[in-house]
Structure 1
Amino acid sequence: MKIAMTVGSAASVGLAGVLCVVLAASWLMIRRWRAAQRRATAEADRARERSEAQAAQLRAELDRREDRLTEELTRLRTREAELAERAAELDTLRAAARRLESERLRAVELAAGLTVGQARAELVRAAEAEAEREAAVAVREIERRAKAEGEQRAREIIVGSIQRLAGEQTAEAVITSFPLASEDLKGRIIGREGRNIRAFEAVTGVNLIVDDTPGLVQLSCFDPVRRETARLTLEALVADGRIHPARIEEIHERSRAEVERLCVRAGEDALLATGLDTMQPELVRTLGTLRYRTSYGQNVLGHLVESAHIAGMMAAELGVDRGLVARAALLHDIGKAMSHEVAGSHAAVGAEFARRHGESAEVVHAIEAHHGEVEPRTVEAVLTQAADACSAGRPGARRESVESYVRRLERLEEIAGAHAGVSKVFAMQAGREVRVMVQPELVDDLRAQVIAREVAKQVADELTYPGQIRITVVRESRATEFAR
């Protein structure tokens, strides 16, 4: 019992101690909370005081600014009133000035007997009449001086250019003489029963004349390129010594290649002689072929080089681009190398050819306009025309008869070549014979006779010629095999 009471007393004492500890802790927490409350309240009071102080400062600053703006507004209103007064004064002065100007004009009109508009119109008419008279006198004087000086200057430029380039012109013939080392060579050239000479003429299209003239045979053909190719062929055959139909064809092919090379060399020499830049290879080659062609007896390539020099000299005198003018003059007759193959005038053909091969628009226009077929629009075209006329118009430069003869022979070949199945056409014997080579697989013997009759009829209808022209159609079949 006592033990139980003792245990209960001890438990009561322990519980009381725990309660005391809890109460003490709660009291400490309440004190801390109250201290934090007081600090927060004090901090809030201080912040409120600072905000109120800043607000008071801002209100004071705004009041000061408002006072300044009020003063400025007052000054502006005062200034506006002053300006309004001055504007009114100016309006009054302008009205007074207008009244005075009107009174002055009325006084002047009364004194002169004219209104202001009438006086102004009268002055303008007088000034215009005086200006027109002076301008007419000045224009006539300027035209007179310009015409006199222009004609004199043009004569000096043209005459000076021609004198500085005084070259000889030799009209080319249509026959080339070929010297022989011995008379025995004539027999070898003719061959057994004339087979060599027939083969030579059939392959080259050139008439080979073997007569009694000692140590000499002649090559006759209106086409100088063809004649030069035949000359080189005959020269190689005579030097080699082997003259027979197969050898003639072989040497002729070599000679054609050699003529091509010579044409390229001639074109390059023309560029070098005129001091021009390089051209496309096809232009150079075509230009070189003109060394074998003539126009009215004047060598075409020589004419072009001479025209380029004349045009370049005139361009230098006039302050124009010399290179461009000389280039146009050098190429202006390049169409003559193709005009017998392409339809159209040589000016139009040459212009199109130059355009295809990259020449400038100025050069192309000068080419197509050098005969007036197109109106010249540039100074380069006009100078090209002048240079062409100067070179062609010099005494002895050209002969009409040779050109007419060549045109007739070219037309003979064109008439025969227009028929189907014709492979080659050669006008020979100074135009008295036309040999027509046909393709045997396309043309039979009957058709060959028809072609000969049609060509003869067309020639008789279109051309005028002395005597008669023999039309020979050749149809040859060949069989070739190789022994291996």
Structure 2
Amino acid sequence: MDVIVDDTPEAVTVSCFDSVRREIARRTLTRLVTDGRIHPAYIEKILEEERQKMDDDLVKAGNEAVFEAGVSGLHPEIIKKLGRLKYRTSYGQNQLAHAVETSKIASVLASELGADVEVAKAGGLLHDLGKAMDHNTEGTHALIGAEFARRHGVNPKVVNIIASHHHEVEQTSVEAVIVEAADAISGARPGARREDLEQYIKRLKALESIANAHEGVEQSFAIQAGREVRIIVRPEEVDDLAAYEIAKDIANEIESTMQYPGQIQVTVIRETRAVSYAK
């Protein structure tokens, strides 16, 4: 946790990877500054009070989300973890609201397609559960969330939905595909997310620069808002086996040098052209 006091008038910056701890610190500082009594014993007292209030707020937020999504039978620890998503955003989109919205969309899609509505609703609500823990746990949010759900007795089909919504494991049900689609719809709808234009352009250029630096690459295009980089190679310089190696190398370089949400698909295209002339 970093508290930054600089030349900005009437402003204190609180920086922390854990969004819940950051919110506790913000509330504590607000009360201390308003009250004016700032000494160690009083700071400890206010901090403990805000921690207790935050615990209550997390449970309340989780219960409200579960009720709104129409999902029942969840373990209290899962509900509390779900509540943490209230203080997590992705490109400006609140992740708890996104989870509820995904659940509702998945429910409608499942109903139309004759799939299991209850499984789809639960999977949609919990698909990003790992984002409440990925700041201090090794692994991707999909696998972290799936493991946490499995330990707390969630339906195995729902666990697979959580684990597979970014294709890190194989999808085993139609409901998993439905939740993946619902997740994409919620995140991609107009106005759902935002990103600073300068940072967005910089990220796209960085993706293309990494791809273009590899031998045999003719052109590269960052598409789908930076979620995929499509690379065209020179067929006379790169054979089919080398194309697979280039895709793997570029993916590894992106992982090691860039920060980005979710995952980025690397697609290498090698054209095969057969030409003959009729005389």
What's the TM-score bracket when you normalise by the shorter of the two chains? Answer: 0.5 to 0.7
CA drift of 1:222 comes to 4.7
Instruction: Select 1:329's aligned residue among 111, 117, 124.
Output: 124
Which residue is equivalent to 2:192?
Answer: 397
Instruction: Select 2:178's aligned residue among 373, 383, 388.
Output: 383
Say if 1:212 and 1:371 are closer, same or farther in 2 by CA, change over 3 A.
Answer: closer
After superposition, residues 403-418 of structure 1 pair within 5 angstroms as none
Work out whether residues 209 and 220 of structure 1, in 8 Å CA contact, stay in contact via their aligned partners in 2: no
Instruction: List gaps (5 residues or longer) in structure 1.
Output: 1-204, 406-461, 466-484
Distance 2:190 2:12 in 1: 30
Work out whether residues 219 and 227 of structure 1, in 8 Å CA contact, stay in contact via their aligned partners in 2: no
Work out whether residues 266 and 291 of structure 1, in 8 Å CA contact, stay in contact via their aligned partners in 2: yes
CA drift of 1:225 comes to 1.8
TM-score normalised over the length of structure 1: 0.39
Which residue is equivalent to 2:76?
Answer: 281
Say if 1:463 and 1:366 are closer, same or farther in 2 by CA, change over 3 A.
Answer: closer
* Mapped pair 1:344 → 2:132: no
* Mapped pair 1:261 → 2:261: no
Distance 2:157 2:73 in 1: 17
**Quick one: higher RCO (CA 8 Å, sep 6+), 1 or 2?**
2
Q: Deviations over 1:400-444 (max 9, x none)?
A: 569x99xxxxxxxxxxxxxxxxxxxxxxxxxxxxxxxxxxxxxxx
Letter in 2 for 1:371: H
* Mapped pair 1:218 → 2:12: yes
Instruction: List gaps (5 residues or longer) in structure 2.
Output: 201-255, 260-279
Which residue is equivalent to 1:296?
Answer: 91
After superposition, residues 297-316 of structure 1 pair within 5 angstroms as 297-316=92-111
Work out whether residues 391 and 397 of structure 1, in 8 Å CA contact, stay in contact via their aligned partners in 2: yes
Give the SS at the match of 2:12: strand
| RMSD of Structure 2 on Structure 1 (CA) | 2.6
Say if 1:233 and 1:463 are closer, same or farther in 2 by CA, change over 3 A.
Answer: farther
Work out whether residues 206 and 226 of structure 1, in 8 Å CA contact, stay in contact via their aligned partners in 2: no
Say if 1:318 and 1:464 are closer, same or farther in 2 by CA, change over 3 A.
Answer: closer
Say if 1:373 and 1:212 are closer, same or farther in 2 by CA, change over 3 A.
Answer: closer
Q: Deviations over 1:148-200 (max 9, x none)?
A: xxxxxxxxxxxxxxxxxxxxxxxxxxxxxxxxxxxxxxxxxxxxxxxxxxxxx
Letter in 2 for 1:301: L
Which residue is equivalent to 2:45?
Answer: 250
Distance 1:206 1:312 in 2: 41
Which residue is equivalent to 1:235?
Answer: 30
Distance 2:182 2:41 in 1: 48
Letter in 1 for 2:102: S
CA drift of 1:351 comes to 0.7
Distance 1:385 1:352 in 2: 18
Letter in 1 for 2:12: Q
Work out whether residues 14 and 26 of structure 2, in 8 Å CA contact, stay in contact via their aligned partners in 1: no
Q: Deviations over 1:287-339 (max 9, x none)?
A: 00111111233211111111011101111222222222111110011011112
CA drift of 1:208 comes to 4.5
Letter in 2 for 1:350: G
Deviates more, 1:263-272 or 1:273-282: 273-282
Give the SS at the match of 1:342: coil
Instruction: Select 2:112's aligned residue among 289, 305, 317.
Output: 317
Work out whether residues 14 and 25 of structure 2, in 8 Å CA contact, stay in contact via their aligned partners in 1: no
Distance 1:315 1:300 in 2: 22
CA drift of 1:272 comes to 1.2
Letter in 2 for 1:228: E
Say if 1:341 and 1:374 are closer, same or farther in 2 by CA, change over 3 A.
Answer: same
Distance 2:27 2:79 in 1: 22
* Mapped pair 1:357 → 2:139: no
Which residue is equivalent to 1:154?
Answer: none
Give the SS at the match of 1:220: strand
Whose helix fraction is larger, Structure 1's or Structure 2's? 1
After superposition, residues 1-400 of structure 1 pair within 5 angstroms as 205-209=1-5, 211=7, 213=9, 216-223=10-17, 224-399=19-194
Work out whether residues 206 and 227 of structure 1, in 8 Å CA contact, stay in contact via their aligned partners in 2: no
CA drift of 1:463 comes to 7.2
Q: How many residues align?
A: 202
Give the SS at the match of 1:391: helix
Distance 1:257 1:234 in 2: 16
Letter in 2 for 1:392: G
Say if 1:291 and 1:241 are closer, same or farther in 2 by CA, change over 3 A.
Answer: same
Distance 1:331 1:319 in 2: 21
Distance 1:259 1:237 in 2: 17
CA drift of 1:271 comes to 0.6
Work out whether residues 102 and 182 of structure 2, in 8 Å CA contact, stay in contact via their aligned partners in 1: yes
